[in-house]
Each structure stands twice: as C-alpha cells, then as structure tokens.
Amino acid sequence: MRTRKFLLTCALIVVALFSVNSVNAQVEYSDNRVSSDAVTVNLKFKPIQSIQINPAQNTVDFVYDTPEEYTNGLDGADKTLTKNDHLTVYHSGPFDVKVTSTGFTDGSNALTGDHVTVKASKGASMTRDNFTYSDPVSLAAVTGASLIESTGGGMGLTFDITYDHTGFDNGDYINKDFDSAEKVYSATVTYTIQSR
C-alpha cells in the first residue's frame, strides 16, 4: 500500500514537472524580440442623408366652401399656409433639397397653371445661416426643382415651407364637373435631398 502511494506521488511529481516545462517553453522568446509594435485606429465617416416631413403636416388643404371664396379667392390666412419646421434634414456634408410635383389632378382631369407655389425658409430651431433659398417653385408638374442649397451639413436641421395659393378668383374654379359633394384636385409633392 505504501509502495502504491509512493509510486502515485512520483507519477504526480513527474506530470507536474512536464507541465511546468511546457509553460516555460511557451513563454520563452525568440531572438527576434521587438521593443514596440503599432496598431491602426481609424475614424470612418460614412455619408448619411435623410429628409423627413413633419408627420403632423403631411396634408396641406386649401378649401373653397363659400360663394365669396369662389368669387374673390381665398383670403390671406387661407391662401398662404406656412408649415413651421415642415422638413427635417440630416446630412453629413453640403447638400441640396429639390422638389418634384405631379401637378394637380382629380384622377382624370388636370389643372393647368401655377395653382400653388412653395418656398423654404429657416425653421424656428435653426441657428445657422449658411443656406440659399430659391424663388418660389410652382407645384405644376415639375421634376427636381432646386429649393434649398447648403454649404455645410448638419443634424436635425429644420425648414419652414410656405404653400402659396395666391391669385385665383373671379370664378377660376367654377364648372369643374362637380359630380359629388366634394371635388379634390391633388398633387403629390416629393422633397429629395442629395449631396452637393
């Protein structure tokens, strides 16, 4: 019994010596030791761009519902609608905002002429002034008309948009084939952002 314990103890000592030698072999250095090494740390700035319409303002209505409005046109408060902070822009560099419109149609018939124009201006929460705003853009059928130009980027930039429906009176909208309680001529207006 003592012999067996003695042999077992010897075997454990031999295994321990081999294990220590293996560890020592792993931490030995070759003759090609270096005193320094380098790693590359990158700051990668990928371009971003986003434009959003204020979800509470995704419909703009000009309503004719009195004889006076059909005769004299809409009054000041109803013919010029400014939507505050209507567009929000995120862009990592200089950008342009362009506007495209399908023109006004009831699905079958189109209205000709410049019934509504849009113009951009600085939103209430903006502190910068490095923007150029175009003259009013007609929402008659138009593709990619310039609205805003920016010489720099920014996050959460807000812009007011004024929808102007001035100059329509004297019965311009009489006899539009009213076959229902309400006749609606709609234009789909799309705002697009792109890098400069």
Percent pLDDT > 70 in the chain is 81
Helix/strand/coil (H/E/C) assignment for every residue in 45-87: CCCCEEEEECHHHCCCCCCCCCHHHHHHCCCHHHHEEEEEEEE
| DSSP assigned state of 12 | H
Q: Is the pLDDT of residue 54 over 90?
A: yes
Residue 43 pLDDT greater than 70, yes or no: yes
Calculate what percentage of the chain has a pLDDT beyond 90. 54
**Domains present along the chain, CATH in parentheses:** 51-170+183-195 (2.60.40)
171-192: average pLDDT: 81
Residue 9: which H helix or E strand, with range?
helix 2-27
Assess whether pLDDT exceeds 60 at residue 129.
yes
Tell me the CA distances in angstroms from 78 to 64, 98, 166, 192, one per residue in order. 9, 25, 10, 27
pLDDT tens, residue by residue, 89-118: 999 999 999 999 999 998 888 888 889 999
Average pLDDT over residues 111-130: 89
The arithmetic mean of pLDDT across residues 159-188, rounded, is: 82
Q: Are 47 and 195 a contacting pair, CB within 8 Å?
A: yes
Higher confidence at residue 168 or residue 17?
Answer: 168
pLDDT tops 60 at residue 14 = no
pLDDT of residue 128: 83
